[in-house]
Amino acid sequence: MEPIDRRTASRPTRERSVRERPTRERPTPERSVRELASVLDSSGLAVTPLGPDRPLVLASPVILDPLEPSRSVPGGLLLGVGVAADSAGPALREAARAGYAAVVLKGSVSPQDRSGTTARLSAEADAAGIAVLVVEGELSWRQLDTLLESALGAVAEAGEAPTALGAGDLFALANAIAAMVGGATTIENLQEEVLAYSTLPGQPIDLDRQQGILGRQVPHLPENAAQYASVFRARGAVRIPGEGEALGRLAVAVRAGNEPLGSVWVVDPGEDLPDEAATALERGADLAALHLLRARSGRDLARLRRAEGLRRLIHGDDDAALVARHLNLGLRPPFAVLAFEADLPAGAEAVTLTRLTDLVSTMTESQRRGTWCVGEDGAVYAVLSEVSAKEGPLLRTLARRVIDRASTALGVRLRAALGTSVDSAPAIVASRHSADQALLLLDPEGKGPEGDGFVRAADLHSRLSLLELGAFLQTKEQLVSPAAQEMASYDTRNGSEYATTLLAYLESGRDSALAAAALSLHQNTLRYRLKRIRELFDVDLSHADDVLLLWISLRVKRTG
């Protein structure tokens, strides 16, 4: 069985094979498997350590590949993907021979239960001389891998008892704040993503903190908006009382001057942290600002460059194909643009627009490969690649989720439209244009054909074509039916409804009964109006060409 570095397994390299690529090691390797288990436990993850404690090299975990021969990775951490706890013996022995310190398994065991599977697994680990970490819960291997990376970073950088606020990375700073203030600490950015969390033992946490750490995102709760608003309005630390099973918090905004960068939150289980704790937290926020500014500078520059490139794509830059290649986003045809338009309150702060763009980006880019987002003028455009004809229902579901999340998390109402599919990067602008046009055809309440705030341009092809034709006819009035122009002017001057009557008659296939019912008229009244139309505007309904031009002219005028 061959352990594969997960960073290289999904992409080829021109220089060396996957098996030849060295594992990236972290500094300060003098740690143990039990220390890692303690950090994971303090983050809210249910972990059962079995077997002997072993020295652990703080390197990126590798994934078990049973189809390849093993290689030696002394002191490393192996993810036992596909290995069941009740039949893990051979895998443990192979991992021990390869030099691993520990194998991570997913399952459900209790450290108090030493019979059955748990006892056998513990005995097999002892016999092989390798530690085992059994992780419980509905966690995917991808999520677990990310969490292990963070925990290894915390063990490597933070140490056991941080005392100096200036040392280490954000994890070390979170630990330092937790030690000084007296409660479990998280550091967040403006998008409410958990950037770092403390790992000191013995500090109580609640379910909200556990979920935030596991997902690296603060759970979306109804009270979030008010709480964050109070934190960012204040110039110092703010006490947030607990609600229900949630513990209280002591929180402070992180700023560079007057510019908000994020926030620091400390669990206050008894809601009785002293005033000195607030002062310590404010000092920690000043140091967190330095970290966030340093981390943000390079990321923001890359983000701005990407956003500018995406804007050039959706606006039809002459070098769209070159821009797409330069962005190196992996965009492949067919393309389509999914547009989200927001009803923002007057004078909405820039942070609201930023959060909206990040919310749409996070949900669409994480759930669909080959998707990139950019915000512009109160709208967010998701550029989709490799769009198949069968994806309509999936994209509708994705749009609904984004609309619902924006409503609950940000209090913002969204409408969404999927543009037409196109086959080249220069044509992406056409997809965006069709999405914008489709948004215009949503009813005043922002509801689509299924009442869900979502519409597909492909379902509105005729109406969109008429919109385009109407825009063209406005620049070429000589192509509009003279009778239609005269009829519209007459109705405006006299308050009559001849244009509406004739259009309803033509759209009902010249069926008098259907047209009269659509207009809520008696058939005799309809016949009288048709007679007057012939007399006043010299309309000959027996001439096919005249009727076609007349119908198109009346239809585009109504649509416009």
Single out the residue of 346, 343, 446 nearest to residue 400, CA to CA. 446
- Given a contact cutoff of 8 angstroms between Cβ atoms, the answer to whether 58 and 31 are in contact is yes
Phi, psi of 162 (to 5 degrees): -65, 140
Residue type, 377: D
Q: Which residues in 285-303 are b (16+ Cβ under 10 Å) and which e?
A: bebbbebbeeebeeeeeee
* Cα 64–chain centre separation: 30
Lookup: tokens for 239: 């006490």
Helices 461-475 and 544-559 sit at what angle, rounded to 10 degrees?
A: 100
Give the CA angle between residues 101, 194, 160 to the nearest 5°: 45
Q: How many CA atoms lie within 13 A of 180 on its CB side?
A: 22
pLDDT for position 556: 73
Calpha distance 305→325 (Å, rounded): 13
Q: Which residues in 211-239 are b (16+ Cβ under 10 Å) and which e?
A: ebbbebebeeeeeeeebbeebbeeeebbe
What stretches of 345-421 adopt beta strand conformation (E)? 371-376, 379-384, 413-418
pLDDT for position 12: 31
pLDDT for position 311: 86
pLDDT for position 274: 83
Q: Contacts for 464-469 with beta carbons within 8 Å, 24 or more apart?
A: 464/434, 464/437, 464/438, 466/552, 466/555, 466/556, 466/559, 467/437, 467/440, 467/441, 467/556, 467/559, 467/560, 468/437, 469/552, 469/556
**pTM of this prediction?**
0.45
Secondary structure (DSSP) of 188-212? EETT-BEEEE---TT----HHHHHH
Residue 400 CB neighbour total at 10 angstroms: 15
Secondary structure (DSSP) of 221-244? -TTHHHHHHHHHH-SS-EEE---T
Q: For residue 543, what is the DSSP state? A: -
The answer for 214, left when phi > 0, alpha when psi is -120 to 50, beta otherwise, is alpha
- Given a contact cutoff of 8 angstroms between Cβ atoms, the answer to whether 221 and 206 are in contact is no
pLDDT for position 13: 31
Digit-by-digit pLDDT tens for the chain (560 residues) are: 444 333 333 333 323 222 233 344 444 445 788 888 876 765 556 788 899 999 888 777 888 876 666 667 788 888 888 888 888 889 899 899 888 999 999 876 554 554 577 888 989 999 999 999 988 766 677 767 766 776 676 565 444 433 333 334 788 888 888 888 889 999 998 878 888 888 888 888 888 888 888 777 888 788 888 888 889 888 899 999 988 888 999 999 988 766 788 899 999 988 778 888 898 898 888 888 877 766 665 555 566 667 778 888 888 877 777 777 766 666 688 999 999 988 765 555 555 677 788 888 888 887 787 788 888 877 899 999 888 888 888 899 999 989 888 887 777 888 999 999 999 888 999 999 999 888 887 765 556 556 678 988 888 877 777 767 766 776 777 777 888 888 988 988 999 999 899 988 888 888 889 988 988 999 999 999 999 998 898 888 888 888 888 888 887 776 65
- Any idea how long the chain is? 560
Single out the residue of 406, 414, 419 nearest to residue 445, CA to CA. 414
SS3 of 130-162: CEEEEECCCCCHHHHHHHHHHHHHHHHHHCCCC
The answer for 75, left when phi > 0, alpha when psi is -120 to 50, beta otherwise, is left
Residue 383 CB neighbour total at 10 angstroms: 26
Lookup: tokens for 508: 């009902």
pLDDT for position 104: 92
Phi, psi of 253 (to 5 degrees): -80, 145
